Structure 1
Amino acid sequence: MTLTKTLTAATLAGLMLTTAAPAANLDGPSVFWKISMYGNPRALTSGMEALAEKVAAETDGKFQIRIFYAEQLGPARENLDGLKLNAFEGAGICNFYHPGKNPAWMVFSLPFLPIPNPEADRYVRSKMFEHPAIVADMAKWNAIPYVSGLLPQFEMMGKGDAPLTLDDWSGLQVRAGGGLGDAMQLLGATKQTLSAGETLTAFQNGTVDVAAFPFTYAHVAFKIYEEADWYTSNLSPGSAECGWVLNKTAFEALPEQYQDLLWDNRDLVLDAEQAAYAAQDEKNLPLFEETLTEVKYDEEALNAFRTRAGRPIWEQWVADNQDDFDAQGVLDAFLGYAAEAAAQ
């Protein structure tokens, strides 16, 4: 599933122009925030870059936010540890990089959750970022959930013979985390929970055959398409939460006007992310269609996959976590918000 074209490159350009407009509406102290991020600047990071511009403009440069890319401040799997140590003021995290550190967040990676479109996805994720269990997971690491990364539905990109049937997945080494990885195991594949930055090397040396990434932007951002032979276009097996969290100590130390500035601009971040994903789709889809083999499953195959790897994975996740937190309550909340979004 790709993003709707209502948010285009022109929309993104408008957002960036808006954030760059000189305002200097707020007075306050000089503050410099470091945000730890893995990988290079890309669609996922466009929202926080827009926020940094907005914050600087509103405070006449007194409140500066800088994203440090390529794991300059620490490994991707240790960003939560860095927040707990007050090593930086915010971070991009991916829930399946460290499932034991954020068990409730793994609800975002359950396969085949009923999210029909990007607008519904945004509604559900924004609501879930306020859920007590999601907040509690971050509190253990001196962190506050800020905004979702709004990752699009994942699709697969691989080398070698394309899996034209569900049985063809047996024996493949698949980079996929969380419930999506569990779903692939039910098809006979072996799951690999590599970070995004590690995946290209694994592709090149043959230890991974297939990579699940948010479609389409991440396959290009991490150069997977350069090594791949084929891609799936309609498997839409699920997503993950690679979102943004803030250092609780640092946030609470801000003057109230700076706290409000961050909190009141969450929609700005989300708007910029969605616009960037849509712009990437417009550019990437023709590239994929020209250079790679498209794998598109019929409805019978998709229904078989959903039956085998949808609700059974949900139920197992609840059973595995019920003694540690209210996993059923977290799942019910997610499904409830999804129903609300569908009714709007």
Structure 2
Amino acid sequence: MKTYLTAATAAIAGLSIAGSAAATEWNVSVWGKRRAFTEHVEKLAELVSEKTGGEFTLNVSYGGLSKNKENLDGISIGAFEMAQFCAGYHRDKNPSITVLELPFLGVNNLEEEVAVSHAVYAHPAVQKDLARWNAKLLMTSPMPQYNLVGTGDPRDELAEFKDMRVRATGGIGKAFSAVGAVPTSVTATEAYNAMESGVVDTVAFAQHAHLSFGTINKADWWTANLNPGTVNCPVVVNTDAYDALSDAERAALDSSVDEAIAHYLENYAALLTKWDTVLEEKGVEKVEISDAQLAEFRKVAADPIREQWIADMSAQGLPAQELYDLVQKTLSDVRSGS
């Protein structure tokens, strides 16, 4: 949204209309409430405003512009200029980035998650995929490996996952299906009610979401080390809005991404350090899955689901094997420091 000074408002402000410039306001659609998951968006808004002297502002809206599953549609029609969404919410709309939601990819920390996400986002096939929605990938929203909170007796063996009703999306949902669980893809904002009403027995989230959406408050136990995967949630901008920015505005936006991500990582690290204290305060039992059970989970879920994904995506014309290999090469490069 461009906001222009009219002659009348300029006169009231004591300005010459000839010297007045257009201020740029972007609306940003996210959901829930401000939390670790949105801290990079908030930091981006702060940095962009600082760098442009307030002439370019990002107005972050928590659910006021769109439902979370409709953010990509909103971007495509220019209903707002920036949005956050998760690939697993609509896999058919963004098949290329679902490579990042495959179970047991081997990503060990948030820094690695940022690296693999941004490598995939930079791939021409991925950019072409998102361009169908008039969307330009700006940055990721890196999340740790998901784990379960659940009600009732702890489930620490795969056999106990049979018929377990679990809130899980994307590749994580497929992984749980492979061991006999019943995944449902209710949105993050619906997860607490689903747990409270008994629609699901367990919810798979990263730590911040268990806190933000209240599922930790219904939990009897938490799987500390199941680590089946995570979801990938990009921040995108409307391509037309991005192209309409001045060179200075575009430079302010692009140059702020790395600092916004760094702020996110620092903030998330602080949350993780207090997680055990939260579990103790709320009386939630910490469940450790045995190495043997984890190995069996990977055997059943990782290889077959990856191979099926590669076959399905290749049939759609995507360079699926290339994208998967890019993830693994990026992990190798990050770990070797190259």
TM-score of the aligned structures, taking structure 2 as reference length: 0.91
For structure 1, the residue ranges without an aligned partner over 5 or more in a row are 1-26
Q: Deviations over 1:35-63 (max 9, x none)?
A: 00111100011111111111111212111
Secondary structure of the 2:113 match is helix
Kept in 1, the 8 Å contact 2:48–2:256? The answer is: no
Deviates more, 1:111-120 or 1:78-87: 111-120
SS in 2 for 1:191: strand
Kept in 2, the 8 Å contact 1:83–1:247? The answer is yes
Counterpart-to-counterpart distance in 2, 1:168 and 1:101: 34
Q: C-alpha separation between the residues in 2 aligned to 1:172 and 1:191?
A: 8
Residue 273 (structure 1) aligned with residue 264 (structure 2)? yes
Deviation at 1:122, TM superposition (A): 2.0
Which residue of the partner structure matches residue 25 of structure 2? 32
8 Å contact kept, 1:28–1:59: no
Alignment partner, residue 308 of structure 1: 300
Residue 321 in structure 1 maps to residue 313 in structure 2: yes
8 Å contact from structure 1 (residues 184, 191) kept in 2: yes
How many residue pairs match? The answer is: 316
Q: Given the alignment of the two structures, is residue 195 of structure 1 paired with residue 187 of structure 2, yes or no?
A: yes
2:94 aligns with one of 87, 102, 105? 102
Give yes or no for contact 1:110–1:180 (8 Å, CA) kept in 2: yes
Q: Give the 4+ runs in structure 1 shifted more than 3 A.
A: none
Counterparts of 1:57 and 1:117, CA distance in 2? 30
Give the secondary structure class of the aligned counterpart of 2:69: helix
Does residue 206 (structure 1) correspond to residue 198 (structure 2)? The answer is: yes
Does the 8 Å CA contact 1:175/1:210 hold for their aligned counterparts? yes
Take 1:134 and 1:277, find their aligned partners in 2: how far apart are those partners? 27
For 1:34 and 1:118, the matched residues in 2 are separated by 27
Residue 208 of structure 1: CA displacement? 0.9
In 1, the alpha carbon distance for the partners of 2:258 and 2:195 equals: 36
**Which of 110, 116, 141 pairs up with 2:133?**
141
Preserved contact between residue 109 and residue 177 of structure 1 (Cα < 8 Å): no
- For 1:173, the aligned partner's letter is R
Aligned pair partner of 2:146 in 140, 147, 154:
154
Letter aligned with residue 257 of structure 2? R
Question: How far apart are the structure 2 equivalents of 1:34 and 1:106?
Answer: 26
Q: Distance in 2 between the 1:257 and 1:29 partners?
A: 13
Counterpart of 2:203 in 1: which secondary structure?
strand
SS of residue paired to 2:234: strand
- CA deviations over 1:50-93 (Å, ceiling 9, x no partner): 11111111212111101100x21111111111111110000011
Letter in 2 for 1:207: V
Instruction: Quote the Cα distance in structure 1 between the aligned partners of 2:109 and 2:61.
Output: 31
Partner Cα separation in structure 2 for residue 262 and residue 60 of structure 1: 13
* Runs (5+) with no aligned partner, structure 2: 1-19
The aligned counterpart of 1:23 is none
Question: Residue in 1 aligned with 2:255?
Answer: 264
1:336 aligns with 2:329: yes
Contact 1:149 1:241 in 2 (8 A): yes
Find out whether 1:87 has 2:102 as its counterpart: no
CA distance in 1, matches of 2:288, 2:169: 22
Higher relative contact order, chain-length normalized (CA < 8 Å, sep 6+):
1
Q: What is aligned with 2:4?
A: none
TM-score for both structures, normalised by structure 1: 0.89
Contact 1:29 / 1:63 at 8 angstroms: preserved in 2?
A: no
Distance 1:78 1:105 in 2: 17
Cα distance, 1:28 vs. partner? 6.2
1:231 aligns with 2:222: yes
Question: In the alignment, which residue of structure 2 is the partner of 1:111?
Answer: 103
Displacement after TM superposition at 1:257 (Å):
1.1
Which residue of the partner structure matches residue 12 of structure 2? Answer: none
> Who is 1:60 aligned against?
53
- What aligned pairs does 1:277-296 form with structure 2 within 5 A after superposition? 277-290=268-281, 291-296=283-288
Query: Which residue in 2 is equivalent to 1:47?
Result: 40
Counterparts of 1:38 and 1:28, CA distance in 2: 32
How far off is 1:210 after superposition?
0.8
* Letter aligned with residue 40 of structure 2: G
Checking the alignment, whether the CA contact within 8 Å between 2:220 and 2:285 is kept in structure 1 is yes
Contact 1:220 1:284 in 2 (8 A): no
Q: Is the 8 A contact 2:102 2:171 kept in 1?
A: yes
> Aligned equivalents of 1:155 and 1:64: distance in 2?
36
Identity of aligned residues (%): 35
Q: Which amino acid aligns with 2:319?
A: D
Distance 1:117 1:175 in 2: 23
Partner in structure 2 of residue 6 of structure 1? none
Cα distance between partner residues in 2 of 1:334 and 1:28? 44
The answer to whether the Cα contact below 8 Å between 1:217 and 1:284 also exists between their aligned partners in 2 is no
AA aligned to 2:72 is L
**CA deviation digits over 1:159-196, x for unaligned, max 9?**
11211211100111111111111110111100111110
Matched residue SS, 1:46: helix
Aligned amino acid, residue 132 of structure 1: P
